[in-house]
Amino acid sequence: MATLETYNENGSTVKEENPEANNFEEVDFDEIEDKLNGKMDDGFQKPIFQTNTNAIIESAVLNRAVQPKKDSKDKEYYDMILKITTVVNQGKEEIVTTDNYGGLREYDDGFWSGKKSAFGKLKQKMKDEFGVETYRDLMRTIQGKEVKIKTETTEYNGEKYQKNIIQSFR
């Protein structure tokens, strides 16, 4: 089972087992009977925010790929994704959305991120807004922040996805 390192609201490190990381179990159809009877067109749809919408970051979790890759210089690295869950309060209704910020690599000697990647853009916003200088500072600072999110269409490996991206901090 993979271990995740996250930070709580006090900035303390919390290690937790991640049952979702590459582990699956057989599904008992009796447990999911109602879902099985649903039409395949009626699946979950990500909330869409066409304008900048106020939200609060509920959690930010850093996930690492299980298998390493090699870059163009034959140097080994692990892909990493920052998974951010935000909550939008619309009257009595809370809308929760989770989005991945990719583009971060972990090498033996540190981290690298592309400037145009979702993570790279977020990293720059964090530097500009809060003056963060380390990845630890970024992870500690981002927790619980008030933000504005907006839905953007992105492309990854030829597939188009909609992501609710942090546009700014409030």
With tokens 């996250």, the residue in question is 6
Which distant-in-sequence residues (6+ apart) come within 8 Å of 6 by Cβ? Answer: 13, 14, 15, 16, 59, 60, 61, 62, 139
- The residue-averaged pLDDT of 38-55 equals 78
The CA distance from 73 to 93, in Å, is: 50
Number of Cβ within a 10 Å radius of residue 130? 14
SS3 letters across 28-54: CHHHHHHHHCCCHHHCCCCCCCCCCEE
The CA distance from 97 to 85, in Å, is: 6
Q: Domain containing 12: what range?
A: 2-169
Q: How many domains does the chain have?
A: 1
Residue 38 pLDDT > 90 = no
- The pTM of the full predicted model, rounded to 2 decimals, is 0.73
Question: Residue 98: CA atoms inside 13 Å, Cβ hemisphere, count?
Answer: 8
> For the ranges 28-32, 87-91, 97-101, 115-119, which has the lowest average pLDDT?
28-32
- Of 169, 145, 156, give the one whose Cα is nearest residue 60: 145
Number of Cβ within a 10 Å radius of residue 119? 22
